[in-house]
């Protein structure tokens, strides 16, 4: 892996190489990405007072009491979803009574808000619409494992809101609508049309929710969205090694997934006369081969290299040397990433064996066995490459591979200073978290954005609140939580974004990635 580094060290005098590395590091640390801060100042509008902050927190807490669980594909709590609809109507009366806002219930349970701008003439000066996305459903909870509060109690304790959906993703639903209601309270008139789309089954597929929202938009003549912003990465605190500043991560793509079945068919028999190999034994060797032979690193073929380049100026000096010189040291960084499953997942297609089935009686050798394997596919990888790798490392024709489910990685959306949609989101983040550093990344988890790939080339992901080592475990885990202050900034971000997106300069998009600047 490090042969490139070795060859360069052989051919280039060491002293010259050290000087080159140092100069490159100094240049990187002096460089700051100048996101466009020529945006509307959020403070120009009346500020949210403390009493209103508490009221907004209580509205979110109420939403967390509604058990909108998605159990599996096509199995979700329909009555709870309708209860949440009513809670939104009660909480945001201006939105639901405004003559300029159209609310449609899509496929029974999803919601699509159309905010009609006052500049809809068909001319070159009109910006195309954009969409803010989130989802109404939540994942199930394990019984008896929450320690601070019950998962659907919606309690506020010492300035912290607890409940399933506090981070994923009812804070987005409520935060977006709080921002819109706030702007309507202040008599703001939108020039630009935009949409707010809330799917109801993101946690199990998104087919029935976001899929139908996309279908509805196309059927009503919407063929292009300027950009779509959904949940995703967070503003990370103490989660990026070597960086003390907040790191605001904007997802520009997300991994695909493939669920495969490995199966072996052999002759059954009695356990008293076992053959030299059994279906279970052959399958076990195949599973071991997959787990001990990971898919190849794709470092540098997705946004992961730019992630480290973007944060290099804020990193501690040792990390900065590494991150600033990836033209030379990328093999070394890739090797370091591979030491931890969390960081290794950034750079390659992952493999997880999730289900194994085999015998049915203690004294019978089964004639068949199977295993379910889940892959999260790197954007530079493909299903054919994944299957070919699996066949090669298993190296046993008795193991059959069948595709059960598959969805490809989403295309990598353009990012960088000259991509106005990305710049718009980045500058809005910087207005709320001015000391944070912006970085693009690939999301390892799937979102509803995969349903909107035909409507926009600019699909971005960020949940605009601070995530810490403590709160990270609550996502799909126990004691999910968000502080009132962080939720306040959540809302402020969407206020800033809506105002910034309403400016003419927000609409001039390019299609270049950062490395092409």
Least confident range from 56-60, 186-190, 402-406: namely: 186-190
Count Cβ atoms within 10 A of the Cβ of residue 398 and give its class: 0-12 exposed, 13-18 middle, 19 or more buried: middle
Q: What is the pLDDT of residue 514?
A: 37
Q: What is the pLDDT of residue 9?
A: 44
**Helix (H/G/I), strand (E/B), else coil: 431:** helix
Residue 186 lies in a domain: yes
Residue 383 lies in a domain: no
How far apart, in whole angstroms, are the C-alpha atoms of residue 408 and residue 349?
A: 12
Burial 272-284 (b: 16+ CB within 10 A, else e): eeeeeebbbbbbb
Residues 6+ apart with CB under 8 A from 316: 242, 243, 244
Q: Is the pLDDT of residue 4 over 70?
A: no
- In 3D space, the residue among 101, 96, 73, 76 whose CA is nearest the CA of residue 86 turns out to be 96
- The CATH number for 122's domain is 3.40.630.10
Q: List pLDDT tens digits, range 219-272.
A: 999 999 999 999 999 999 999 999 999 999 999 999 999 999 999 999 999 999
Q: What is the pLDDT of residue 511?
A: 40
The residue range of the domain holding 118 is 52-231+468-502
Q: How many domains does the chain have?
A: 1
Residue 372 lies in a domain: no
pTM of the model: 0.90
Residue 204 lies in a domain: yes
How far apart, in whole angstroms, are the C-alpha atoms of residue 127 and residue 176?
A: 21
Interhelix angle for 317-324 vs 326-337, to 10°?
110
Residue 30 lies in a domain: no
Q: List pLDDT tens digits, range 298-331.
A: 999 999 999 999 999 999 999 999 999 998 999 9
Q: What is the pLDDT of residue 131?
A: 98
Residue 166 lies in a domain: yes
Find out whether the peptide bond into 169 is cis, omega within 30 degrees of 0.
yes
Q: How confident is the model at residue 8 (pLDDT cuts 50, 70, 90)?
A: very low
Q: How confident is the model at residue 119 (pLDDT cuts 50, 70, 90)?
A: confident
Q: How confident is the model at residue 145 (pLDDT cuts 50, 70, 90)?
A: confident
- Report the Cα–Cα distance between both ends of the chain, in Å, rounded: 28
Q: Is the pLDDT of residue 507 over 70?
A: no
Q: What is the pLDDT of residue 19?
A: 57
Q: How confident is the model at residue 385 (pLDDT cuts 50, 70, 90)?
A: very high
Q: What mean pLDDT, rounded, does the chain reach? A: 90
Residue 128 lies in a domain: yes
Q: List pLDDT tens digits, range 16-50.
A: 545 555 555 555 555 556 665 555 565 555 565 66
Q: What is the pLDDT of residue 47?
A: 60
Higher pLDDT, 362 or 142: 362
Q: Catalytic residues, which ones?
A: 137, 202
Q: How confident is the model at residue 125 (pLDDT cuts 50, 70, 90)?
A: low
**Helix (H/G/I), strand (E/B), else coil: 389:** helix
Q: What is the pLDDT of residue 1?
A: 47
Residue 421 lies in a domain: no
Instruction: For residue 408, give both structure tokens.
Output: 């490809």
Element (H, E) at 132: strand 130-135
Q: List pLDDT tens digits, range 61-95.
A: 999 999 999 999 999 999 999 999 999 999 999 99
Average pLDDT over residues 110-120: 92
Q: What is the pLDDT of residue 308?
A: 95
How many other β-carbons are positioned within 10 Å of the β-carbon of residue 144?
Answer: 8
């Amino acid at each position: 892996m490090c042969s490139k580094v070795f060859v360069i060290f052989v051919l280039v005098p060491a002293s010259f190489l050290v000087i080159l590395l140092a100069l490159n590091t100094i240049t990187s640390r002096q460089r700051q990405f100048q996101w466009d801060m020529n945006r509307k100042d959020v403070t120009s509008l009346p500020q949210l007072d403390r009493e209103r902050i508490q009221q907004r927190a209580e509205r979110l807490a109420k939403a967390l009491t509604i058990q909108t669980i998605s159990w599996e594909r096509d199995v979700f709590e329909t009555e709870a979803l309708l209860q949440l609809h009513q809670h939104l109507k009660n909480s945001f009366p201006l939105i639901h009574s405004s003559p300029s806002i159209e609310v449609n219930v899509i496929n029974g349970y999803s919601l699509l808000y159309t905010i009609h701008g006052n500049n809809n003439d068909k001319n070159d000066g009109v910006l195309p619409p954009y969409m803010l996305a989130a989802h109404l459903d939540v994942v199930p909870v394990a019984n008896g494992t929450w320690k601070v509060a019950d998962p659907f109690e919606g309690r506020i304790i010492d300035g912290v809101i607890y409940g399933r959906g506090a981070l994923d993703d009812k804070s987005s639903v409520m935060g977006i609508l709080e921002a819109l209601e706030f702007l309507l309270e202040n008599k703001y008139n939108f020039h630009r049309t935009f949409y707010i789309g809330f799917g109801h089954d993101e946690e199990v597929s998104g087919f029935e929710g976001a899929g139908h929202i996309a279908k509805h938009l196309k059927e009503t003549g919407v063929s292009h969205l300027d950009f779509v912003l959904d949940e995703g990465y967070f503003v990370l605190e103490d989660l990026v090694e070597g960086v003390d500043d907040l790191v605001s991560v904007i997802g520009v793509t997300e991994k695909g997934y493939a669920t495969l079945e490995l199966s072996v068919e052999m002759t059954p028999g009695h356990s008293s006369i076992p053959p030299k190999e059994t279906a279970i034994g052959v399958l076990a060797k195949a599973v071991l081969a997959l787990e001990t032979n990971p898919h190849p690193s794709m470092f540098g073929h997705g946004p992961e290299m730019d992630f480290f380049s973007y944060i290099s100026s804020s990193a501690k000096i040792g990390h900065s040397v590494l991150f600033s010189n990836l033209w030379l040291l990328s093999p070394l960084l890739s090797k370091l990433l591979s030491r931890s499953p969390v960081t290794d997942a950034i750079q390659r297609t992952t493999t997880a064996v999730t289900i194994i089935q085999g015998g049915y009686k203690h004294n019978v050798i089964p004639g068949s066995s199977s295993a379910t394997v889940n892959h999260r596919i790197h954007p530079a990888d493909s299903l054919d490459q994944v299957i070919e790798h699996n066949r090669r490392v298993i190296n046993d024709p008795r193991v059959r591979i069948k595709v059960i489910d598959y969805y490809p990685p989403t295309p990598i959306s353009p990012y960088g200073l000259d991509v106005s949609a990305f710049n718009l989101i980045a500058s809005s983040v910087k207005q709320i978290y001015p000391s944070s550093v912006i970085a693009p990344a690939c999301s390892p988890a799937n979102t509803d954005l995969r349903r909107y790939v035909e409507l926009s080339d600019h699909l971005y992901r960020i949940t605009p609140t601070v995530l810490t080592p403590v709160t990270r475990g609550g996502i799909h885990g126990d004691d999910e939580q968000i502080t009132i202050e962080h939720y306040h900034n959540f809302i402020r971000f969407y206020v800033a974004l809506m105002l910034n997106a309403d400016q003419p300069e927000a609409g001039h998009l390019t299609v270049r990635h950062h490395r092409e600047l």
